[in-house]
Structure 1
Amino acid sequence: MRSLLDTPKASSRARFRDRIPRFMLTVDTEEEFDWDKPLTRDTHGIEHVGRLSKFQVFCEHQKVVPVYLVDWPIANAKLAADILKEPLAQGMAEIGVQLHPWVNPPHEEEVTQANSFAGNLPADLEASKIGRLRDTIEANFGIAPLIYRAGRYGAGPNTAEILVEKGIAVDTSVRPKFDYTAVGGPDYREHPVYPYWVDDEHTLLELPLTTSFWGMLRRQGDYIYPRLWRAPAMRGLLSKTGMLERVPLTPEGVSVEEAIRGIDIALDDGAPLLMFSFHSPSLRPGDTPYVRTEQDLDNLYDWWRRVFAYLNQRGVKPSSVKDVMLSIER
């Protein structure tokens, strides 16, 4: 079993039998906490959970199946189960595992920046946390989760093997073109944006989050962008002048015009699956830096409407874990 930190071989690329481009909407369904303060085990809330109901109805109207990647506080929130159980049972939503180790038992490690990346934990502790969360989700939501994302994208050298042992078939922790080593996390700069098999036996499929470089220097983006991490002003200048811009597919901090450019670049580069994401606390104003007012929230919903319409225009169909597993070549 290869590590999720390893750059995959070209031969491990996964393809869809029908060659139709797809997209998937993933929701980091997690507790609220102050993003500007140190992490703690107990300083958080789940007051936004009721907002999941409106978002689920919105997705159903758009004929999109959201994948809720649930962490420990949400997995134990009765309201979350009350809202999502029926859509999950009817196939109008899917559920997965998202590990925030600092709030997930067993609590054996010190809460530190490095330990917030679950892949940095000892293998047995990482496995215990993932196992407890997986089992709790199945018990409370009535569905066995098949997809995993490490909170803060914090996969590690043992994560892939643990996921296979826990019966999880898909990982989506990898965030290409991002490097978190400055804060103790992984480096995904060399990872591709296309789906790939982590192991030769095809037991674990990686669905990386989609990020594109846009601009005149986009072909050199993998070389230039990482070298400017100490110079955010230069990154801003390159973006403003249309020379180079990094575009993750998320409504959080990315305009719809930027997202559409990112979609076009990814599709033109042959990406078979576009992976979108955002954080569930953004569904309530004031819980994330991206949505501060009701107008911001209206803008978030409008972002999704416009993006879904554009994807339909480009012939990109909504997908889900079930669709991927049925359609992928083995």
Structure 2
Amino acid sequence: MAAPHNVGAAPMTGSSRRVLHVLKYYRPAFTGEGVFLERCSAVMQELAGTVEHDLLVTHTPRPSRPEAAGFCSTLRRVLYLNAGPVPTVLHHARLAWWFLRNLWRYDAVHFRTHADWYFVTYLLTRLAGRRLVLSATLDDSLPVLINHYRPGLRRLVAVGFRLFHAYVGISPRLHEQNRAAAAVPERCHLIPCGVTVPLATPGTRERVRRSLGVRPADPVLLFVGGLCARKDPLFLIEAMPAVLARHPGARLVLVGPPLEPDYVQKLEAAAAAGTGASVVFAGEQLDPHPWFEAADLLVFASRLEGFGTVVPEAMAHGLPVVARRLPGVNDSFVLEGETGFLMEDQAAYLEAVLRLAGDAALRRRLGSAGKALCARKFGMRQVAARYLGVYGVAEAGVPSPEGPESGLGCTASITDSRFHAQASTAAADPQGVPLLLTMVDAEEAFDWTHPFSRDARDVTSMRSQHLAHRVFSRHGVVPVYLADHPVASQDAGRAPLRELLQGGLCDLGAQLHPWVTPPFTEAIGEANSYAGNLPVAVELEKARCLTGALEDAFAITPQIYRTGRFGVGPRTADVLKQLGYVADSSVSPCWPAAAQRHDPGAWASPPGPYWVDGERTLMEIPVSAALVGRLARHGGRVAPFLFRPGADRLRLAGAAARLGLLERIRLSPEGMTVEEAKRLTRAMLAQGHRVFVLTYHSPSLEPGNTPYVRTVAQRDRFLAWLDAYYTFFREEVGGRNATWREVRFGTAAAAASPLALAS
């Protein structure tokens, strides 16, 4: 069931707890701590789904363009304190005022850097009874911070730092320094930066190496980090002539943003003078993992690190490492001759690099050992669980931190407009002709008035879909059937659909009904009928199971998806990206969940298909629905009261519709008259819409399965509705029927797809 007409997007359940993270510097001038926060917040969200995470950025100015900042889908809000540089006193006054106004929202506050040198916000947090945490991440342990103050103030400053409930050091050196200065050493926690490694896409190594122009046997040395003097990539460039003397085809790839322009000029000059094209400046990469896949070893000459996450990250990719020795930082995991080599001068560096470059077996042995060590010591699930414990917000029943990592990213969102960009449909129809897509929710029949049941798996209504195809054939409609697990796993469902597919009469997508899709680990109920309410790991596994069942049943990998009941969640887009989907249709405007009802944006129709990720790989194609009438432009204020639960008893919505003031309409023959559908279409056309999505449920084609079709006569009217609407759309609107593939890829690419060629 895509959604009865009284439900909408997945409602959040339970009482959320919130953690505020405070960073000085964030996007677009990125920091290692910002990278870690994004990745860790993703895993904390997987372990404790009702804990929300916000970020306050105190020093980086607010970007003029939101898209320039970049976003993380598991940071609910990213807030910038200042739009530009401000005097110090004004800055701290704004910080204190922000805390006074917003501190009540949070259960814990984690200062990831010492951002308040006057201790005002620290005191406010304690007075408010919130948990207060401070991190040391580079050269900012407690004794170092205390020594930054004038000698006469240091005793008072030490007392001020006692306000914190917990101190986190990310390396043994920082941890011991914290313990030496803390009044209560037991408050100090050693929590290293965790490491996550996404699943590699087949062929990535070969693709990236081809772009570098290297042969299979040529060694690729990788550096990842900001291009600045502290990281010392000049050391690596100056050593390259000696490497090239032994390995002429070698490459040194520098992945990272240019943080210090003058220093970068020195790097470029040194590379031009001594190495030719063997040094590659790859620039900042939002996703550095393909570069790890392409490399043979990591080289890292940084002179100062709190932890140096890139080193264990490379090890987690199976790369041996050669790094500058940083006592108390990296000597506990870069084990000499076991996982890599530590060096202190160029001679030691060249000895290690040349040895590894010339011995593939040694690289494999050290890489394998490093990968195993990282899994034991730096798994992000263990790290995230420890942070939740430090914050005091860990939930009962949190999944074990020892479990497998999901590998999900956190760079997309179907519901969060920060990630969205309108998609052009010019390639589907350069003339701007309105396009109509037909999507059928191919699913089991069940009583919509009864509780959900795993036993409701009757898919015999699939045998009646040919009745709709009599209409489709007259109008040139090629629908996409969004099939769920019962349809894919039973002959009564998959046989009729397979016949339609083989005849080129339809396309195939996926629809997730959680209560009938394995694995069955969740309790059955209203809340868990929305996939977006499930723990992320469960949502991922159910989507993966459904995708596999469809592949097995139809020998087609589905590429378009819908969450049953339009129950999209905060990580649904991340799930779909990992599983390779390129389009989604889980948004049904104007039917918001209770928690969203008073948000005016929840009653607005998106302007058309839109991208949900910065890479523009996943497109949302919303179902067509809108508020229609003379009050439509005020709908965001009026609709929450007119369409609230219980309002039907007052018959206000019916009166408003009859008077032409306001009505909400979805483009469907279920519960809507054809005249209502026409009014919706005209209103949406006037708003600039050019892509329309018509949807209904497959069980409606057999009487008695849904509230919309109880008799044969009602089914006849249902089919007549389709015939009349397609005629209207072609003759009055001047539109044409299209497929989702045309909208997503363009007409030419869709025509060349394997499905189109097969038909």
TM-score range, shorter chain: over 0.9
Query: 2:564 matched to which residue of 1?
Result: 151
> Kindly tell me: are residues 237 and 8 of structure 1, through their superposed partners in 2, closer, same or farther at Cα, counting changes over 3 Å?
farther
- Residue from 105, 108, 123 that aligns with 2:521: 108
- Correspondence 1:226 to 2:640: yes
Query: 2:344 matched to which residue of 1?
Result: none
Matches of 1:224 and 1:124 in 2, distance apart? 38
Task: Give the TM-score taking structure 1 as reference length.
Answer: 0.93
| Cα offsets for 1:207-238 (capped at 9, x unmatched) | 01111222221221222112221423211210
**Which AA in structure 1 matches 2:414?**
L
Contact between 1:72 and 1:103, CA under 8 Å: does it hold in 2?
yes
Contact between 2:669 and 2:718, CA under 8 Å: does it hold in 1?
yes
**Distance apart, 1:87 and its partner CA:** 3.3
Query: 2:19 matched to which residue of 1?
Result: none
SS in 1 for 2:417: coil
Contact between 2:532 and 2:568, CA under 8 Å: does it hold in 1?
yes
**Distance apart, 1:245 and its partner CA:** 0.8
**Which AA in structure 1 matches 2:413?**
S
Alignment of 1:118-197 (within 5 A): 118-181=531-594, 188-190=602-604, 192-197=606-611
Alignment of 1:66-77 (within 5 A): 66-77=479-490
- Correspondence 1:39 to 2:39: no
Query: 2:746 matched to which residue of 1?
Result: 327
SS in 2 for 1:97: strand
> Kindly tell me: are residues 183 and 51 of structure 1, through their superposed partners in 2, closer, same or farther at Cα, counting changes over 3 Å?
farther
More contact order relative to length (CA 8 Å, sep ≥ 6):
1
Contact between 1:113 and 1:183, CA under 8 Å: does it hold in 2?
no
Contact between 2:604 and 2:626, CA under 8 Å: does it hold in 1?
no
| Cα offsets for 1:248-272 (capped at 9, x unmatched) | 1001110001111111111121112
> Kindly tell me: are residues 321 and 73 of structure 1, through their superposed partners in 2, closer, same or farther at Cα, counting changes over 3 Å?
same
SS in 2 for 1:95: strand
Contact between 2:443 and 2:484, CA under 8 Å: does it hold in 1?
yes
**Which AA in structure 2 matches 1:6?**
D
**Distance apart, 1:58 and its partner CA:** 3.1
Contact between 1:149 and 1:171, CA under 8 Å: does it hold in 2?
yes
Across the aligned residues of Structure 1 and Structure 2, the Cα RMSD in angstroms comes to 2.1
Contact between 2:422 and 2:607, CA under 8 Å: does it hold in 1?
no
Contact between 1:7 and 1:190, CA under 8 Å: does it hold in 2?
no
Contact between 1:175 and 1:188, CA under 8 Å: does it hold in 2?
no
Higher mean C-alpha deviation, range 149-158 or range 238-247 = 238-247
SS in 2 for 1:68: strand
Matches of 1:130 and 1:183 in 2, distance apart? 25
**Distance apart, 1:189 and its partner CA:** 3.1
Matches of 2:665 and 2:433 in 1, distance apart? 23
**Which AA in structure 2 matches 1:242?**
G
Query: 2:422 matched to which residue of 1?
Result: 13
Provide structure 1 residue ranges, at least 5 long, that are not aligned to the other structure: none
**Distance apart, 1:247 and its partner CA:** 1.1
> Kindly tell me: are residues 251 and 199 of structure 1, through their superposed partners in 2, closer, same or farther at Cα, counting changes over 3 Å?
same
**Which AA in structure 1 matches 2:734?**
G
Higher mean C-alpha deviation, range 15-24 or range 51-60 = 51-60
SS in 1 for 2:508: strand
- Residue from 5, 11, 22 that aligns with 2:435: 22
Higher mean C-alpha deviation, range 156-165 or range 216-225 = 216-225
Matches of 2:414 and 2:641 in 1, distance apart? 23
Contact between 2:530 and 2:564, CA under 8 Å: does it hold in 1?
yes
Matches of 1:61 and 1:138 in 2, distance apart? 30
> Kindly tell me: are residues 145 and 196 of structure 1, through their superposed partners in 2, closer, same or farther at Cα, counting changes over 3 Å?
same
- Correspondence 1:94 to 2:503: no
- Residue from 658, 663, 683 that aligns with 1:240: 658
| Cα offsets for 1:24-47 (capped at 9, x unmatched) | 011111111111111111134223
Matches of 1:194 and 1:8 in 2, distance apart? 16
Matches of 1:50 and 1:87 in 2, distance apart? 11
- Correspondence 1:79 to 2:476: no
- Correspondence 1:277 to 2:695: yes
Matches of 1:306 and 1:223 in 2, distance apart? 34
Provide structure 2 residue ranges, at least 5 long, that are not aligned to the other structure: 1-410, 748-759
> Kindly tell me: are residues 195 and 284 of structure 1, through their superposed partners in 2, closer, same or farther at Cα, counting changes over 3 Å?
same
Task: Give the TM-score taking structure 2 as reference length.
Answer: 0.42
Alignment of 1:203-222 (within 5 A): 203-222=617-636
Matches of 2:459 and 2:637 in 1, distance apart? 40
Matches of 2:739 and 2:603 in 1, distance apart? 26
**Distance apart, 1:84 and its partner CA:** 2.4
Task: Among all aligned residue pairs of Structure 1 and Structure 2, give the percentage whose two residues are the same amino acid.
Answer: 37
Matches of 1:285 and 1:86 in 2, distance apart? 23
Matches of 1:292 and 1:308 in 2, distance apart? 23
- Residue from 311, 317, 321 that aligns with 2:736: 317
**Distance apart, 1:190 and its partner CA:** 4.8
Matches of 2:441 and 2:595 in 1, distance apart? 23
**Distance apart, 1:136 and its partner CA:** 0.8
The number of aligned residues is 327
